[in-house]
Structure 1
């Protein structure tokens, strides 16, 4: 085995050696037998000026390289080090291409040995890393990185990373390495010999690899089933007394009156079989406020308690922070588990089949197969949220995720190991089942029971319930759903399910199957043509109805109703949809007959063939579901639902999305959910409007139940910790055009940032305005003055943008939509929050407009009863981003003068914790703010 690796990093004047960019620094570290044995580093005179951006990034300037050697002088040393070695780099093609160009220009031969890319290796082996950038991987693995973007430091860190990666590769089970081998051959990195040698070494000294379960040529991490704990006498405790235990056990824990009240109220609601609505301000500690009484009550009555959240982040917080605390202080054992929808879990049957499938034999698919093989040795959950998959990997996941349509259930040899069914069994044996709102209300809608039987539920982040229920009781489909199903069926030639069943015909001699498949293959083009015609006509109809220019960007939405039936163009669409319906019916009959023919011979099939038939039947079921959805969306228009179409003005000709949602969900929730539960406790930091719960209880159908309500104030001293400022010299957006408005707010944001030294979150209600403001601000400020992050501008998830924002001292984060809630930036990382406009929903939003129309028909006031309460709750969420602990201090600027100049605007202020409001010219407000910040 070649155990010599030369890890190289180069700093350069730019990204392209072909365009004349040159190397300015080389760092090299030699690793032999996983030990660093040699180092080399040198500045290099590039003979061209170093651009300012590169100087800022690397800290290397023209003066530092002026007396440095030319590359041709350091080339012999580098080539000598590389002799008989692996060339290793983080993003190897970048460094190697530069070196090859410089070698050739200096008259030396190019490097021709094997290479390793530590980015690629990390993607295969470090599946839960948030990012594969070198600095963030160093943080993840605890490697000290002293001088990022300096070649010697980067090479040193990459060498330590390589050692950890090789150690992890070596530690993989022998069976996993054997299954990995064919996929690693298709990687950029030259891993074949390394893996082959590890396999030989392990084969010569076969040892039991602890913690592994070997089944059907896969190594998966062993899993111990959860047993239901017997109820113990220790469960007969007063929930309030457990807070005293908590204070004694935890050094920095402070008893909070609001938290004590919440514990008592939750326990009382469960004891008295009442529903409750509890607003718990930031800092109350609502998670423990409901977990403690829930666990005590559940143990005393030997019943599981369901906890539902809207976000994955809160589920993780409960499992990683709060549950471990309670395991230390509760006088009885308990088990908590997270249960999600089945599409979140890997189907081992499908994955086993996909490993041997050459369909989509591309780089991304091979990489993802390798990743999942490694992941199986680590995961006991099988949950996709544990993975950091690239876009190509997410496509492969769609092939191997669990679903009901193609599940063999107990006939499957993987059944006892199935991640989804295992989680369901674990949930049945658990005291706490933590799930999400989506699954909670899918369970209400579903014929099959998805959650264990329960009578008590805590709904956290309850301000999202109305939208989640609307989504799950709504209907949606689009062209691409149909296209993907037809693509999965394929034809005889393209390796889809039809072609695979042809092979089955030859292997199992199923009489009549070939004829049936021939008919399917002939039917598919006709159906695809009818679908294309329908969806293209729908798109033309929307663009004509909205008079949209083909130069528009983004989605165009069109709400339609019963009046559409009078239009000739719509009648043509109805005829087309009928043809699609009949075509799908015909295809469905053929698919059903094919499945029946296969099932008659099932006893002669092996497991893989049975799985193939199950997948085929799954596609048939999905096609039937989508047909019924399309039928409802085009033919089932009624006044209780809102129906609308969305198209991409600049998108594909058939890119059409159809939606419907119930306009009011209160009655359905009252009958199908609240009436069937002993106690449902709804909690959030934002449930009240002007100190009343009427809006929320009315929208959710709770009024007839007379729920307990409480507004538990935050323990924070907002009057001391927060400045609330409304500049009077910022125009209202309807007073000027958007370009002028953006120019003014960008300038004002710059003035604020100078005082607060960045550390600012700016919340928008419009992505377009965010982008324009970001660009104007960037032009105003010096390039190195502030570090800017923009949602939709900088790539990455909300969590990644937030993490990057916290890494820099003078940073500013521009956010919209999801940034109004759920992000947690405590301490000095965030000192300033700017709300550009009051967050009213756009009036042309189809759901908002339909709800407003219904309120009008019923004699209500849509603005006061719907738009204003929604905006206030959203505003409270945004306000809550600033103060997260008792030590936080900062300023909130609201650039929308309506908050102080209109009668309804005062409702926003009265819905907040007590905080004084300052109005004035921006210059005066900033003078006051500067003095206040200096005092802290």
Structure 2
């Protein structure tokens, strides 16, 4: 089989570099590998990763992952030799030195796919012709395997189904769920052979009270439920939720914080609806618009809007779009590794990130994935969403006719942070330039499909004179906002326009008030918006006038659009009405943003509002400035969350394994918004059924000095070797993560222990977790995203190592909340929550065993309540910790031996 592939293959790891041809496999130097890859078409697996390991980031070649994405769009594959072997039915290589030869064999197997039963054949020949013209490296080899079809292919836009309008759904009926009914539904979901768990039954019964009829206006039946890992809370709340949806005829929105839990919930849906077609109708996943491929943007890219490698990505995304289940590019069935192969060049332009959708004015409106998901959710029983989308829909009045009356907020400990992001305001250069582009459209010389207000609402302008005047005035006023090159002009002291001048004054004051040497260290800078200097006060007036000149025509235009809807002129058919309704919603969003900016500017030189925290900031990465601006956050963001989301609901369940953050119920009530409700929330607690005394231990290492980077790296390396991989390493700073990875990756490779790292490897976080989960000898280093969103039960995760106590970063915002929240007690709650979440990665099921190591002698004893009761805790030296990790591994192997035998 390999003889049919004339290309050499290249593999590079931290353990060495190898080239394989038909005749031999040999180890080569870095320079020789780069030369061969530059001169000869070379087979690779994940070119950006190999290029990084060779120190040649622009390395390219015949990437097997691109070939797989073309042949099998919308299919999952772990992008490793083992994952590739699985999808090609080949034997996986056991040594790094064998990978290069294996890649040639796997490439031959993939190239042979079109000769057999190829499920994704439709559209393949059509796409290949375009890729051939774009000089895609795989095109010549594939063109010999894919013959021109005898009949015309149904390709993408002709293949996608259209959604149909449905009558409004009736309001849900008023019902009361009986405890016996909930228990019966839970038993059906868990299965007759499943062990009966009283904790799960009690949890389901408690969750059921959130679905009772509401008794007090503006105050839902609110249930706060902390359920330890292993209780089975997902099925515990799906039992009453599905029962209520079935009997009341309404939809329950289950909201999560992480995409990992969304995927888990979708998988659990098979228990509710075993029939795939019925499940697709009754359970719908919803995300923000920016997650879905925009067909109009994709069409523009396919017709020449993209060039070079970005154009190849567009063709592969088009292949995927023809077979995807839901069009979700972020966390859906588009392989997470695909955009990273192109250095994310162009992938974000294929979604609607600027809010420029023209709704019914789009030729693909009836096939739009976003619209299809919205309509499907209106008829679903269970809608799987996320905290951000729930808040956006509620705050901006979206889909008001289908607003849910029942919510389940899983990962409820993140509601506070999600609300903090949603209800904040930031007048920065990057935010302002986006508003300018949305209003004015393309600047001279710019490319792409971007359209301004005048282009999107040309028919309104011709019909309604006042509306046309408002559009023209808004476009003229928007030119006072920052434009391309603003950051350089501000840095050079030559701002153009009043808003750039304001940002220049912000920049000057922030640098002037730097007290910790952060300016020299290269970190971001910030200072309170208090006692502003004369330059900032003087710049505020003209900037406010410029924004006022923009918001007035925007408000006027919104009123004129509403008047046009009321007039219903002859040219306004159904699609036109939907498009104008969409324009009104988008305009309201931008008007609200500009209004928040005006309120923030009014704070300059004025009195402080006790509900808010205001500050000035310069955002930098490795010393390079990328944004400047003014920021405003609520001191307590659960207050607007309660006002916009909870008060309109009839029932809500807020649940998590760490809802109280290792403290009391006051913490859960404060961070969930329950304190702002008229009726008190019901409380429920169920401890984890796991035997933590036997399954886990916490080791606090006392002899790794804080700030000693070589010692920190040595500790990580020795612990990973002792555990033989299977380690999740958590860091509080990206710089330290990168430094430790650089010191230990080669050392671990010599032990046969692969090391993956967030912020180092050019791989998305979800794929890194997939690779980690798939290889019991691999280890993974990361930051907060891995502390909160990783579910790796079994042998692949047996050791968690944290570099130190996760002290809160001393920001202006944190200082204000600390003052309002009880000082050091507030800090302790945050730290305990982070420790509890990190520890929660370790034990995910009854047969898991492992160690949690904290490399900090400064761990206060008062924070140990973050760990489950009964968990052994010991302060030990690094040598003792390594010995205990080895002992834990041996015990784990002994425990697994009978099952293996």
Provide TM-score, normalisation by structure 2.
Answer: 0.77
Give the Cα–Cα distance (whole angstroms) in 2 for the partners of residues 699 and 438 of structure 1.
Answer: 16
Residue in structure 1 matched with residue 5 of structure 2 by the alignment: 7
Distance in 2 separating the partners of 1:893 and 1:634? 47
CA shift in 2, pair 1:536/1:284, >3 Å: same
1:240 is matched with which residue? 183
Deviation by residue 1:258-304 (Cα, 9 ceiling, x = unmatched): 11111111123423653211111111111000001111123222322
Deviation, 1:879, is: 0.8
2:257 to 306, 310, 313: 310
Residue of structure 2 in register with 1:725 after alignment: 699
Alignment of 1:884-899 (within 5 A): 884-899=844-859
Contact preservation (8 Å) 1:92, 1:116 = no
Which structure 2 segments of 5+ residues have no match? Answer: 49-60, 215-220, 484-495, 895-901
CA deviation string 1:54-110 (max 9, x = no partner): 99xxxxxxxxxxxxxxx9xxxxxxxxxx9xxxx89458999xxxxxxxxxxxxxxxx
Question: For residues 577-609 of structure 1, what are the alpha-carbon distances to aligned partners after superposition, in whole Å with 9 as ceiling and x for unaligned?
Answer: 24653775799799999999x999x99999999
User: For each residue in 1:488-531, what CA deviation from the matched residue of structure 2 results, as whole angstroms up to 9, or x when unmatched?
Assistant: 73345545679999999999x999999x9999799959963225
1:871 has 2:831 as partner: yes
Q: 2:257 aligned with 1:296, yes or no?
A: no
* Shift in Å, 1:722: 1.2
CA pair 347-892 structure 1, distance change in 2 beyond 3 A: closer
Q: Aligned to 1:851, which of 817, 821, 827?
A: 817
* Residue in 2 that maps onto 1:640: 611
Q: Structure 1: which 5+ residue stretches go unaligned?
A: 16-20, 28-40, 56-70, 72-81, 95-114, 856-860
Structure 1 position 824, deviation (Å): 1.6
Is 2:808 the counterpart of 1:832? no
**In 2 relative to 1, CA 869–527 (structure 1 residues): closer, same or farther, beyond 3 Å?**
closer
Q: 1:189 to 1:486 in 2, by over 3 A?
A: farther
SS at match of 1:655: strand
1:34 alignment counterpart: none
Equivalent residues of 2:798, 2:851 under 8 A apart: yes
Distance in 2 between residues matched to 1:670 and 1:22, nearest whole Å: 57
1:697 aligns with 2:664: no
Alpha carbons of 1:88 and 1:660: their partners in 2 closer, same or farther (altered >3 Å)?
Answer: same
Residue correspondence of structure 1 range 263-274 to structure 2 within 5 A: 263-271=204-212, 273=214, 274=221
Q: Deviations over 1:835-882 (max 9, x none)?
A: 33222312x223221112334xxxxx3211x21112111111111111
Quick one: which of 392, 415, 431 aligns to 2:381?
Answer: 431
- Tell which structure's C-alpha radius of gyration is larger: 1
Q: How many residues align?
A: 824
Cα 1:484–1:238 shift into 2, 3 Å: closer
Contact 2:429/2:482 (<8 A) preserved = no
SS at match of 2:615: strand
Q: Which residue number corresponds to residue 655 of structure 1? A: 627
Cα offset, 1:892, TM superposition: 1.8
1:354-373 aligned at under 5 Å gives the runs 355-356=302-303, 358-359=304-305, 361-373=306-318
Higher relative contact order (CA 8 A, sep 6+): 2
Cα 1:771–1:349 change in 2 (3 A) is closer
Counterpart position of 2:283: 336
Distance 1:124 1:520, change over 3 A: farther
1:153 equivalent to 2:148? Answer no
Cα distance change on mapping 1:491 and 1:771 into 2, 3 Å = closer
What pairs with 1:495-574 in structure 2 (closer than 5 Å)? 495=447, 524=479, 528=483, 529-530=496-497, 531-546=499-514, 552=520, 555-564=523-532, 567-574=533-540
Shift of 1:695: 0.9
Q: In structure 1, what is the Cα distance between the partners aligned to 2:509 and 2:79?
A: 46
- Residue 690 of structure 2 is aligned with which of 716, 722, 730? 716
2:824 is paired with a residue whose SS is helix
What secondary structure does 1:296 align onto?
Answer: helix
| Cα distance change on mapping 1:617 and 1:142 into 2, 3 Å | same
TM value normalised by structure 1: 0.74
Deviations 1:385-442 (A, max 9, x none): 2334526796745555358964454565544433222222211211112111111112
- Which residue of the partner structure matches residue 261 of structure 1? 202
Partners of 2:391 and 2:11 in 1: CA distance: 56
Shift of 1:308: 0.9
- What secondary structure sits across from 2:531 in the alignment? helix
User: Is the CA contact (8 Å cut-off) linking 1:834 and 1:895 kept in structure 2?
Assistant: yes
Following the alignment from structure 1 to structure 2, what is the Cα–Cα distance between the partners of residues 504 and 758?
A: 55
Task: Work out the CA distance in 1 between the residues paired with 2:857 and 2:18.
Answer: 54
> Given the superposition, is the C-alpha separation of residues 619 and 534 from structure 1 closer, same or farther in structure 2, using an over 3 Å criterion?
farther
Q: How far apart in 2 are the matches of 1:437 and 1:319? A: 16
Q: Does 1:490 align with 2:488?
A: no
Is 1:678 aligned to 2:636, yes or no?
Answer: no
In the other structure, the counterpart of 1:862 is 823
The offset of 1:471, in angstroms, is 1.2
Residue 706 of structure 1: aligned partner: 680
Residue 26 (structure 1) aligned to one of 15, 21, 24: 21
Preserved CA contact (<8 Å) 2:727 2:780:
yes
